[in-house]
């Protein structure tokens, strides 16, 4: 069909009015996931709106690699023309995909080009380009929502991460004619491995459901687990990310006897406060215990598609020396040598957990590092080891149980199958 | 593996629970309702955060992050506890009975991974009918007063916890001074009475309704002699003992101004 020419002499103006990434809340195999920003704020669709959206962060979308694999991803966009009744072919390309190589010239220009290429590869567009499609404008100049396929996606090739998509929108009125640039839009895209698992939900999809995945959590989880291409690697990276917080933001609750500060002891995780703490604010303070760390690990890993639970171990078991979160050297928890040797035992311990509630379950412990050497109950030197996807094991297996608990405590250091949970985010 | 009950019993033995279980000592005890942090009565503390009220079973939970007003005054811009490194975490558990407040101590301790609580007397803590501290003096403080179980922890590295615990306990344990009464707009006790004839040991509903003329929240402190006050199915009850029963109710508004009403009777 031949498009109409603009008939005014002046160039015709076509604008992008809105873009929907999550255009089918009932599905997530060909479009984006249902998400919200945090407990208080919903992500409205269309995510991008003309005159409202000014930064990529204001236009977020999350995709699950596993569920979208092999499918054509689609978006919907609406346009406006100052010449009603015309038909235009519209597309969007990635202007950052192939930056000009000789910017500034010489060696410096080459380095700049290399850096741009690198940043694009790591954090740049994964949604590819918007395949051209004809749109017809009605008498009021509106196109309604047009569904576009995306092509050249990098979604299957990249791991977990946050990405910025920049699209240069273009139109033309006749096939084969030169493309005319219109708007540039930018969007923040989160690449997840799978659809987020409990406590996160995809339904019901409404502003009142605070368990929809939060971009405030994705902002940290995607950075901690950047590049991870399978769920175990992602959970491991999240575990390490949580433990690293001990260098600056949190420390084990020695003054309070190892109490939880970021959960309500049963079913709720004060995630809003934790995110505030991650951002350098007060949150609920600097102290955490194993319940908190297990909850951080589980919640932040599961939003990426991992499937961990918070598992309690115990009751009352003697400990090997460890490096608790916030500490820098091996000791019993809360030791202050030479006057205080620290606590010889845990009443309980809580960890991120994968698999069956048995010795065959796997531990992701963001609260402490165990001794990774051949004799974890022996003296120094010790080998710091973060338990990441480490089988719990039976006494004598030299696995997590043996590394955490002293020989006398090992029989009691068992998973408590009555205390497996995933705390809801609040 | 030990079950929940077994663990609690072990903790009780460890903490000498039998010595402080049950009812408060002394002829008069307190019962607190609808508690919230009495900021006006504790001007040396500033509320940085007040978490939404929640419930742990029948216990009503309030939680606050506080900083010394001194620190707040010194902070610049929007800096708060994070900048000053001084903040405390206050949790109050308003329990349905005196006995349950003591059970709440055990529940709290069971949720602490390392434990190591020391009796308050060992730390020279002079507050609460029951009090415990942490490994170090001032590091944490918990106490029971009537039906209230209160925990003061550090949110940041400073300050000490025992001073705030002492101040709150004093507020819960003592009748208000007359000087606090004369607010321009004090609350008003609308009704305070037993809704059925009293009989020894038998629970009868107790009606306590109060209001603030400006619609501000109010909390109540009851001083009970000769019986026990508790809460069941979200209603207060009075279970008189033998002889005279006297319940004196104080209702406070957020400015610390109060009204009083007493109920004296015999089972």
Residue A285 has a pLDDT of 97
Residue recorded with tokens 């497996």: A420
Distance CA A92, CA A413 (A): 57
Q: Residue B153 phi/psi, 5° resolution? A: -120, 165
**Which residues are CB-neighbours of B59 under 8 A, at least 6 positions away?**
B93, B94, B95, B96, B100, B104, B149
Residue recorded with tokens 């698992």: A197
Q: Residue B40 phi/psi, 5° resolution? A: -65, -30
Over residues A223-257, the pLDDT tens digits come to 999 999 999 999 999 999 999 999 899 999 999 99
User: Chain B residue with minimal CA distance to A412?
Assistant: B1
User: Chain B residue with minimal CA distance to A346?
Assistant: B114
Residue B79 has a pLDDT of 45
Inter-chain touch A347–B56, beta carbons under 8 Å: no
Label residue B77 by pLDDT band (50, 70, 90).
very low
What region does B243 belong to: left with phi over 0, alpha with psi -120 to 50, or beta? left
* Contact predicate B95/B58, CB 8 Å: yes
Residue A2 has a pLDDT of 34
Q: Where are the beta strands (DSSP E) in A307-361?
A: 309-318, 323-324, 345-354
Give the number of other CB atoms < 10 A from CB of residue B41. 17
Question: What would the two tokens of residue B4 be?
Answer: 């929940």
Shortest distance between the Cα of A268 and any Cα of chain B, in A, equals 10
Query: What rounded mean pLDDT belongs to chain A?
Result: 94
Mean pLDDT of A349-372: 98
Residues of B in contact with A266 (CB under 8 A): 56
Radius of gyration of chain B (CA): 19
Inter-chain touch B114–A258, beta carbons under 8 Å: yes
Inter-chain touch B54–A334, beta carbons under 8 Å: no
Residues of B in contact with A316 (CB under 8 A): 2, 7, 10
Q: How many pairs of residues across A and B have Cβ atoms under 8 Å apart?
A: 113
Question: What would the two tokens of residue B43 be?
Answer: 């001007």
Residues of A in contact with B80 (CB under 8 A): 282
Inter-chain touch B112–A346, beta carbons under 8 Å: no
Residues of B in contact with A346 (CB under 8 A): 113-114
Shortest distance between the Cα of B154 and any Cα of chain A, in A, equals 7
Inter-chain touch B114–A334, beta carbons under 8 Å: yes
pLDDT of A282 > 60? The answer is: yes
Q: Residue B110 phi/psi, 5° resolution? A: -65, -25
Mean pLDDT of B80-106: 91
Inter-chain touch B113–A346, beta carbons under 8 Å: yes
Inter-chain touch B115–A261, beta carbons under 8 Å: no
* Helices first, then strands: H and E counts in chain B: 5, 16
Q: Contacts for B115-121 with beta carbons within 8 Å, 24 or more apart?
A: B115/A257, B115/A258, B115/A343, B115/A347, B116/A257, B116/A343, B117/A257, B117/B15, B117/B142, B119/B16
Distance CA A343, CA A349 (A): 13
User: Which of A258, A280, A285 comes nearest B87 by C-beta?
Assistant: A285
Q: Residue A410 phi/psi, 5° resolution? A: -60, -40
Residues of A in contact with B4 (CB under 8 A): 418
User: Which of A255, A281, A416 comes nearest B154 by C-beta?
Assistant: A255
Inform me whether the C-beta atom of residue A223 falls under 8 Å from chain B C-beta atoms. no
Distance CA A62, CA A28 (A): 10
Residue A156 has a pLDDT of 94
User: Which of B48, B49, B116 comes nearest A257 by C-beta?
Assistant: B116
Residue A98 CB-density burial (10 A; 0-12 exposed, 13-18 middle, 19+ buried):
exposed
DSSP string of A242-310? Answer: HHHGGGTT-EE-TTTTS--SSB-SSSEE-HHHHHHHHTTS-TT-SEE-HHHHHHHHHHHHHTTT---EE
- Output the pTM of the full model: 0.94
Mean pLDDT of A158-183: 97
Over residues B137-179, the pLDDT tens digits come to 789 999 999 999 999 999 999 999 999 999 999 999 999 886 6
* Closest-CA residue to B105 (of B48, B145, B51): B145
Distance CA B190, CA A249 (A): 49
Residues of B in contact with A349 (CB under 8 A): 113
Inform me whether the C-beta atom of residue A265 falls under 8 Å from chain B C-beta atoms. yes
Q: Residue B144 phi/psi, 5° resolution? A: -120, 135
* Contact predicate A36/A214, CB 8 Å: yes
User: Chain A residue with minimal CA distance to B160?
Assistant: A255
Inter-chain touch A285–B135, beta carbons under 8 Å: no
Inform me whether the C-beta atom of residue A326 falls under 8 Å from chain B C-beta atoms. no
Residue B185 has a pLDDT of 86
* Contact predicate B118/B141, CB 8 Å: no
Residues of A in contact with B105 (CB under 8 A): none
Inform me whether the C-beta atom of residue A266 falls under 8 Å from chain B C-beta atoms. yes
Residue A381 has a pLDDT of 94
Residue A9 has a pLDDT of 62
Inter-chain touch B113–A289, beta carbons under 8 Å: yes
Shortest distance between the Cα of A134 and any Cα of chain B, in A, equals 52
To test the contact with chain B by mutation, choose from A255, A357, A367, A395 the residue with the greatest count of B C-beta atoms within 10 A, namely A255
**Which residues are CB-neighbours of B96 under 8 A, at least 6 positions away?**
B58, B59, B147, B230, B231, B232
Distance CA A56, CA A266 (A): 37
User: Which of A256, A343, A347 comes nearest B153 by C-beta?
Assistant: A256
Residues of B in contact with A265 (CB under 8 A): 56, 111
Residues of B in contact with A416 (CB under 8 A): 1
Residue A259 vs residues A262, A293, B141, B182, B221: alpha-carbon distances, Å? 9, 11, 12, 41, 29
User: Chain B residue with minimal CA distance to A410?
Assistant: B1
Kindly give the residue spans of alpha helices, DSSP state H, lying in chain B. Answer: 4-15, 69-74, 81-84, 98-110, 162-173
Residues of B in contact with A414 (CB under 8 A): 1
Note the ipTM here.
0.92
* Contact predicate B143/B152, CB 8 Å: no
Inform me whether the C-beta atom of residue A270 falls under 8 Å from chain B C-beta atoms. yes
Residue B100 vs residues B10, B34, B149, B170: alpha-carbon distances, Å? 18, 16, 9, 21
Residues of chain A above pLDDT 90, percent: 88
pLDDT of B80 > 60? The answer is: no
Shortest distance between the Cα of B179 and any Cα of chain A, in A, equals 35
To test the contact with chain A by mutation, choose from B1, B50, B85, B114 the residue with the greatest count of A C-beta atoms within 10 A, namely B114
Pairing outcome for strands A60-64 and A180-192: parallel
Inform me whether the C-beta atom of residue A143 falls under 8 Å from chain B C-beta atoms. no
Inform me whether the C-beta atom of residue A40 falls under 8 Å from chain B C-beta atoms. no
Least confident of A47-56, A115-124, A256-265, B192-201: A115-124
Label residue B6 by pLDDT band (50, 70, 90).
confident
**What angle do helix axes B4-15 and B98-110 make, rounded to 10 degrees?**
100
* Closest-CA residue to A166 (of A186, A139, A144): A186
Inter-chain touch B65–A284, beta carbons under 8 Å: yes
pLDDT of B188 > 90? The answer is: yes
Distance CA A295, CA A15 (A): 45
Inter-chain touch A255–B134, beta carbons under 8 Å: yes
User: Chain A residue with minimal CA distance to B110?
Assistant: A347
Residue A8 has a pLDDT of 54
Question: What would the two tokens of residue B21 be?
Answer: 């279980």
Buried b (16+ CB within 10 A) or exposed e, A191-205: bbbbbbbebbbbeeb
Residue recorded with tokens 């700049």: A112
Give the number of other CB atoms < 10 A from CB of residue A178. 7
Buried b (16+ CB within 10 A) or exposed e, B150-181: bbbbbbbebbbbbbbbbbbbebbbeebeeebe
User: Chain A residue with minimal CA distance to B57?
Assistant: A266
Distance CA A304, CA A231 (A): 8
Inform me whether the C-beta atom of residue A256 falls under 8 Å from chain B C-beta atoms. yes
Mean pLDDT of B1-17: 86
pLDDT of B11 > 70? The answer is: yes
Inform me whether the C-beta atom of residue A208 falls under 8 Å from chain B C-beta atoms. no
**Which residues are CB-neighbours of A359 under 8 A, at least 6 positions away?**
A391, A392, A393, A394, A397, A401, A414, A415
């Amino acid at each position: 069909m031949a498009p109409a020419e603009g008939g005014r002499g002046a160039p015709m103006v076509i604008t992008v009015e809105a873009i929907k990434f999550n255009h089918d809340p009932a599905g997530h195999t060909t479009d984006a996931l249902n998400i919200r920003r945090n407990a208080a704020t919903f992500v409205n669709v269309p995510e991008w709106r003309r005159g409202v959206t000014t930064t990529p962060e204001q236009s977020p979308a999350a995709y699950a690699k596993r569920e979208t694999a092999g499918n054509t991803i689609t978006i919907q966009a609406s346009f406006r023309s100052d010449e009603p009744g015309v038909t235009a072919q519209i597309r969007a390309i990635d202007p950052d995909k192939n930056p000009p190589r000789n910017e500034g010239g010489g060696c410096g220009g080459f380095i700049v080009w290399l850096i741009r290429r690198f940043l694009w590869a790591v954090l740049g567009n994964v949604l590819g380009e918007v395949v051209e499609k004809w749109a017809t404008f009605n008498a009021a100049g509106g196109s309604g929502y047009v569904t576009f396929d995306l092509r050249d996606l990098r979604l299957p090739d990249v791991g977990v991460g946050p990405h910025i998509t920049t699209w240069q929108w273009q139109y033309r009125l006749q096939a084969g004619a030169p493309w005319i640039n219109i708007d540039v839009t930018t969007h923040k895209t989160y690449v997840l491995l799978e659809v987020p698992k409990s406590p996160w939900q995809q339904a019901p999809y409404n502003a009142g459901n605070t368990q929809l995945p939060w971009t405030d959590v994705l902002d940290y989880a995607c950075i901690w687990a950047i590049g991870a291409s399978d769920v175990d690697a992602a959970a491991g990276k999240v575990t390490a990310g949580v433990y690293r917080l001990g260098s600056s933001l949190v420390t084990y609750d020695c003054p309070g006897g190892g109490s939880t500060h970021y959960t309500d002891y049963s079913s709720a995780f004060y995630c809003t406060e934790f995110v505030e703490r991650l951002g350098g604010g007060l949150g609920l303070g600097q102290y955490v215990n194993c319940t908190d760390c297990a909850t951080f690990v589980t919640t932040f890993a599961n939003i990426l598609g991992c499937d961990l639970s918070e598992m309690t171990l115990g009751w009352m078991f003697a400990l090997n020396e460890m490096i608790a979160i916030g500490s820098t050297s091996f000791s019993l928890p809360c030791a202050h040598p030479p006057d205080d040797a620290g606590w010889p035992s845990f009443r309980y311990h809580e960890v991120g957990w994968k698999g069956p509630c048995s010795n065959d379950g796997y531990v992701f412990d963001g609260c402490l590092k165990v001794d990774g050497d051949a004799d974890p109950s022996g003296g120094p030197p010790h080998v710091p080891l973060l338990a990441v996807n480490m089988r719990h094991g039976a006494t004598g297996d030299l696995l997590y149980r043996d590394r955490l608990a002293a020989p006398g405590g090992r029989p009691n250091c068992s998973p408590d199958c009555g205390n497996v949970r995933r705390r809801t985010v609040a | 593996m030990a079950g929940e009950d077994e663990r609690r019993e072990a903790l009780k033995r460890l903490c000498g629970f039998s010595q402080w279980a049950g009812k408060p000592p002394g002829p008069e005890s307190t019962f607190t309702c609808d508690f919230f942090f009495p900021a006006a009565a504790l001007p040396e503390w500033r509320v940085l955060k007040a978490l939404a009220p929640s419930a742990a079973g029948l216990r009503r939970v309030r939680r606050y992050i506080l900083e010394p007003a001194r620190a707040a005054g010194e902070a610049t811009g929007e800096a708060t506890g994070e900048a000053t490194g001084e903040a405390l975490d206050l949790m109050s558990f308003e329990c349905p009975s005196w006995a349950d407040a003591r059970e709440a101590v055990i529940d709290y301790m069971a949720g602490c991974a390392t434990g190591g609580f020391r009796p308050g007397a060992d730390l020279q803590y002079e507050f609460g009918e029951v009090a415990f501290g942490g490994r170090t003096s001032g590091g944490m403080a918990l106490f029971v007063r009537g039906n209230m179980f209160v925990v003061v922890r550090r949110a940041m590295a400073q300050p000490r916890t025992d001073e705030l615990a002492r101040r709150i306990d004093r507020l819960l344990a003592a009748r208000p001074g007359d000087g606090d009464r004369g607010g321009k707009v004090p609350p008003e006790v609308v009704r305070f009475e037993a809704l059925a004839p009293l009989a020894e040991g038998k629970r009868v509903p107790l009606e306590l309704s109060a209001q603030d003329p400006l619609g501000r929240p109010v909390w109540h402190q009851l001083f009970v002699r000769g019986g026990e006050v508790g809460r069941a199915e979200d209603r207060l009850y009075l279970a008189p003992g033998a002889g005279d029963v006297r319940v004196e109710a104080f209702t406070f508004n957020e400015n610390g101004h109060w009204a009083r009403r007493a109920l004296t009777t015999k089972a």
